[in-house]
Structure 1
Amino acid sequence: MVERHFNSGRRRALLGLGTALISTPMPHAWAKDFPSRAISLVVPFPPGGGFDTIARPFADRLGKALGQSVIVDNRPGSGGNMGTDVVARAASDGYTLLFANDYLSTNPSVNRNVRYDPLRDFVPVSMVGTTQVVMAVRPDFPARSFEELVALSKQRSLSYGTPGAGTSPHLVGEYLSTISPLRSLHVPYKGTAPAVNDAMGGQIDMVYATSPSVAPQIAAGKLRGLAVFGEHRSTQLPDVPTLQEIGGPPVNYEVWYCVLAPASVPAPVLAAVREATRKALDADLAARLAKLGYAVRQSGPEEVTRAIRDGLQRWKTVVAKAKVSIE
């Protein structure tokens, strides 16, 4: 009777295991069926901003490469943290992706309440592109060289606005304060647009923002590009010199954009998204984004991981040295 009971139990266990195996999609099934519906590309910032400028053209091309719609889903809040947290906790099926940039490295440096781990909770797909941070001022701003800017800062307090505390324009400004005699007060805004408006209106002296965010105002003569934080001039703003060209220290920094998926996405699905991303970042998209101030950058997942890891260490050091307030 004992043996009969044991065999019966073993049969039930084997039957359960077989049922589980049948109901669990095998790797080849994932590859064959994905994608079978629209994919959500979460952009953790408001619609109409600089993020949308690069995310929407990319999403359109990615959808064509995958054969399904890729819908941009704006989930703003907390400097990108809210939307990012949504993706970190999304189903690991490849139907929810994150379009992010270097806030993945800057936010954890200034915010104790970041709930996600950018290295643990995501798997990188690819880099998408880069752009540069620009120091822009009113057309009648008296300083035109870095020496004149420093001299002015000794005569009166200068202020610079950014899209928010912990953003790369903010921390680039803090980094500049640690390697030069320039001293200026940081004024955080909830997005780039209000900072640009206040710079044009004279409420602040300078605005630090990505090239695509200030290029229209510079072209219209409402702002003057004083310098680009980068090794080379921006292709979008070829008349704006680098900081080093106007006598400042070399601050060679690029804002990068990437695509990530939640951790544990099946390998065949991840491979499909990576291949589609490679196809999406073609010459046509590169030409289109170049006009908007972005340089396309294809990469393997390792480059994304390295950029996040290096950024975490870099900005942690800057925050400590500049004594930036941590929320």
Structure 2
Amino acid sequence: MSRTLCISRRRAVVGIGASLLAGAAVHAQAQAYPARPISMVVPFPPGGGFDTIARPFAEKLGRALGQPVVVDNRPGSGGNMGTDAVARAAADGYTLLFANDFLATNPSVNKNVRYDPLKDFVPVSMIGTTQVVIAVRPDFPAKNFAELLALSQKQALSYGTPGAGTSPHLVGEYLSSVSPLKTLHVPYKGTAPSVNDAIGGQIDMVFATTPSVAGHLAAGKLRGIAVFGEKRARQLPDVPTLKEAGGPSVNYEVWYCLMAPAGLPAPVLAKVRDATRTALDAELSERLGRLGYEVQASAPAQVTEVITRDLARWRNVADRAHISLD
């Protein structure tokens, strides 16, 4: 037997041994997981709309996994700072990302985003959705969408959103492109101040999620004109869909999902996915439903499909409206 052949066989044996050891290590890691608390990064400040859905879910997920899931609020740059941190975290299952449609809007309006939502993360599951409402103060002259259109022909109507480049901003631009509605966007640093200014009359209307405005509508501080989407919001049964109100059909809602850093070992990922399905039970669905969210577990592929779809949708809107946050 030649010396070269002996060396080749020895290398092959070493390679097989290394592969077996690596496989055993991954298996042992999965068997032990989770051995300590898990950090679930929410890339926005505490106390906002994100926490409303993220914290009840984290509590349930922790029970399903047998270890606490700690919400780690890491705000900054419209969600980019916390998201970028997760993209660069160890792929060991101890750092997860609770995200929403900013994964599609941020890269669409900001070419300096450092993460790739499709390459730097692996999807766990959809968590839920909520609808966006067009709301005005009670004494606003327009009582319905038709009157809103007519009023905007005299002067562009100002609408507030959580910020430039957010999905409420982009859907507002899209609505103006597919209807005669003339608008002027007013960006805020979060939903609450935009809602407060709509109540106070500093802006004509606000585009905000159902949980953010439902209480104000019930108290008579705001009046709903229409909700985006194919059906009425559970919390706002008297507010028509945009199509019912005589506007264009705009199939849009804010979605939430759970992501993990790319490269997470398959057995660990499977445990997180199984625990997520367990966490999204009937009790959590009812609890979040009362707040304006619709719980929606999904196959991982559906998360990828939704992100891919919305990346194309919002890039098109941003390009047409010349929206760029670079």
Q: TM-score range by the shorter chain?
A: over 0.9
Evaluate the alpha carbon distance shift between residue 179 and residue 16 of structure 1 in structure 2; reply closer, same or farther with a 3 A threshold: closer
Look up the match of 1:262. Answer: 261
| Larger mean Cα displacement after TM superposition, 33-42 or 151-160 | 151-160
Matches within 5 A, 1:118-129: 118-129=117-128
Look up the match of 1:317. Answer: 316
1:94-150 per-residue CA deviation (whole Å, 9 max, x = no partner) reads 000000011111111111210000000000000010110111110111112222111
Matches within 5 A, 1:1-327: 26-327=25-326
Shift of 1:326: 4.2
Which secondary structure state, in structure 2, belongs to the residue aligned with residue 233 of structure 1? coil
Amino acid of the structure 1 residue aligned with 2:89 = A
Amino acid of the structure 2 residue aligned with 1:255 = V
Runs of at least 5 residues in structure 1 that lack an aligned partner in the other structure: none
Shift of 1:89: 0.4
Q: In structure 1, how many angstroms separate the alpha carbons of the residues matched to 2:139 and 2:172?
A: 22
1:154-204 per-residue CA deviation (whole Å, 9 max, x = no partner) reads 222310000011111111101101101101111111110111111111111
Evaluate the alpha carbon distance shift between residue 135 and residue 68 of structure 1 in structure 2; reply closer, same or farther with a 3 A threshold: same
Q: In structure 1, how many angstroms separate the alpha carbons of the residues matched to 2:14 and 2:304?
A: 42
Q: In structure 1, how many angstroms separate the alpha carbons of the residues matched to 2:36 and 2:30?
A: 14
Shift of 1:325: 3.6
Q: Is contact 1:136–1:207 with CA below 8 Å preserved after alignment? A: yes
Q: What percentage of aligned pairs have identical amino acids?
A: 71
Which secondary structure state, in structure 2, belongs to the residue aligned with residue 237 of structure 1? coil
Q: In structure 1, how many angstroms separate the alpha carbons of the residues matched to 2:141 and 2:11?
A: 84
With structure 1 as the length reference, what TM-score do the two structures score?
A: 0.93
Q: Is contact 1:177–1:322 with CA below 8 Å preserved after alignment? A: no
Which secondary structure state, in structure 1, belongs to the residue aligned with residue 239 of structure 2? coil
Amino acid of the structure 1 residue aligned with 2:319 = A
Q: Is contact 1:123–1:262 with CA below 8 Å preserved after alignment? A: yes
Shift of 1:220: 1.3
Evaluate the alpha carbon distance shift between residue 96 and residue 322 of structure 1 in structure 2; reply closer, same or farther with a 3 A threshold: same
Shift of 1:321: 2.1
Shift of 1:28: 2.2
Shift of 1:216: 1.4
Q: Is contact 2:155–2:182 with CA below 8 Å preserved after alignment? A: no
Q: Is contact 1:178–1:321 with CA below 8 Å preserved after alignment? A: no
With structure 2 as the length reference, what TM-score do the two structures score?
A: 0.93
Q: In structure 2, how many angstroms separate the alpha carbons of the residues matched to 1:47 and 1:70?
A: 16
Shift of 1:77: 0.9
Which secondary structure state, in structure 1, belongs to the residue aligned with residue 198 of structure 2? helix
Q: Is contact 1:196–1:207 with CA below 8 Å preserved after alignment? A: yes
Q: In structure 1, how many angstroms separate the alpha carbons of the residues matched to 2:18 and 2:270?
A: 28
Q: In structure 1, how many angstroms separate the alpha carbons of the residues matched to 2:73 and 2:84?
A: 13
Which secondary structure state, in structure 2, belongs to the residue aligned with residue 129 of structure 1? strand
Which secondary structure state, in structure 2, belongs to the residue aligned with residue 26 of structure 1? helix
Q: Give the aligned CA root-mean-square deviation in angstroms.
A: 2.3
Q: Is contact 2:93–2:260 with CA below 8 Å preserved after alignment? A: yes
Amino acid of the structure 1 residue aligned with 2:280 = L
Q: In structure 1, how many angstroms separate the alpha carbons of the residues matched to 2:22 and 2:100?
A: 37
Q: In structure 1, how many angstroms separate the alpha carbons of the residues matched to 2:215 and 2:321?
A: 32
Q: Is contact 2:110–2:324 with CA below 8 Å preserved after alignment? A: no
Q: Is contact 2:165–2:323 with CA below 8 Å preserved after alignment? A: no
Amino acid of the structure 2 residue aligned with 1:115 = R
Amino acid of the structure 1 residue aligned with 2:47 = G
Size of the aligned set, in residue pairs, is 324
Q: In structure 1, how many angstroms separate the alpha carbons of the residues matched to 2:10 and 2:294?
A: 60
Shift of 1:41: 0.5
Q: In structure 2, how many angstroms separate the alpha carbons of the residues matched to 1:119 and 1:15?
A: 35
Which secondary structure state, in structure 2, belongs to the residue aligned with residue 99 of structure 1? strand
Q: In structure 2, how many angstroms separate the alpha carbons of the residues matched to 1:211 and 1:83?
A: 25
Q: In structure 1, how many angstroms separate the alpha carbons of the residues matched to 2:18 and 2:245?
A: 70
Which secondary structure state, in structure 1, belongs to the residue aligned with residue 131 of structure 2? strand
Shift of 1:224: 1.0
Q: Is contact 2:43–2:79 with CA below 8 Å preserved after alignment? A: yes
Shift of 1:241: 1.2
